[in-house]
Amino acid sequence: MDNYEKIIDKNNGIIYAHKLEDYRMNRHNLNSLVEKKLLKRIAHGIYAKPDKNINEFWLMGEKYKNGIYSHNTASYFYGMTDRTPLQLDMTFPSNNRIKNDLLNVHYIKKEFHDVGLTELKLDDGFVIRIYNVERTICDIIRDRNKIDLQIFNTAINEYMKRKDKNLILLSEYATKFKIEKILAQYMEVLG
């Protein structure tokens, strides 16, 4: 029990209930720490120090482990839009069914779900699962009729200005998602 501070500090101020055995703790220890206000429950099975600032993007990703940040939310993180998302865009395998008013849920076939998956370390040290820039552009093009025109145009234009853009990878993804002709039209206009 005395080692709990070392354990929680080692884990960036977070304890997961499903890892109690790894921490050499049990449910009773955890409940005792919560009762003594040494830990607070921040979500089902996730506990943190009371003074720990929890990143909401990270927390949503922890609640929805199959979700990957995508579309407008990913564009926001990559600086391809100046609009803070009102709803968080997350993509899930099509066999999932998610209901959450804070999420704008997108579904995709399971075999395409991990295409372009990467991790992004946020300024506060939390890490989120997010699609890379090229996958984000493909998602925006695929759903262009559902996305605000200004957000769409800004994302495409900002991508083309990036020094780290990977047009070969973008083209590979476009082929996978069967949008290569549409992508070619946009590249021709911006080219």
Distance CA 111, CA 45 (A): 29
32: exposed, middle or buried (Cβ count in 10 Å: 0-12, 13-18, 19+): middle
| Average confidence (pLDDT) over 129-149 | 96
For residues 118 and 59, is the Cβ–Cβ distance under 8 A?
no
Give all strands (DSSP E) within 33-83, no chain letters: 40-43, 46-48, 68-69
* pLDDT the model gives residue 1: 46
pLDDT band at 2 (very low <50, low <70, confident <90, very high): low
- Secondary structure (3-state) at 17: helix
Helix axes 133-142, 167-176, angle to 10 degrees: 40
Output the pTM of the full model: 0.89
What is the share, in percent, of the chain residues with pLDDT greater than 70?
A: 98
Q: Integer distance in angstroms from the first to the last C-alpha of the chain?
A: 62
| Average confidence (pLDDT) over 28-50 | 92
* pLDDT the model gives residue 190: 67
Distance CA 60, CA 165 (A): 28
pLDDT score of 41 more than 60: yes
* pLDDT the model gives residue 110: 96
- Secondary structure (3-state) at 124: coil
pLDDT band at 39 (very low <50, low <70, confident <90, very high): very high
Paired sense of beta strands 88-93 and 103-108, if any: parallel
pLDDT band at 144 (very low <50, low <70, confident <90, very high): very high
Helix axes 167-176, 180-190, angle to 10 degrees: 150
pLDDT band at 5 (very low <50, low <70, confident <90, very high): confident
* pLDDT the model gives residue 170: 98
pLDDT score of 181 more than 60: yes
Nearest partner of 117 among 164, 61, 44, judged by Cα? 61
Distance CA 49, CA 16 (A): 12
Helical residues (DSSP H) of 118-179, grouped into ranges: 133-142, 149-161, 167-176
Tell me the average pLDDT of the chain: 92
| Average confidence (pLDDT) over 61-65 | 94
81-110 per-position pLDDT tens digit: 989 988 999 999 999 999 888 899 999 999
Distance CA 46, CA 59 (A): 9
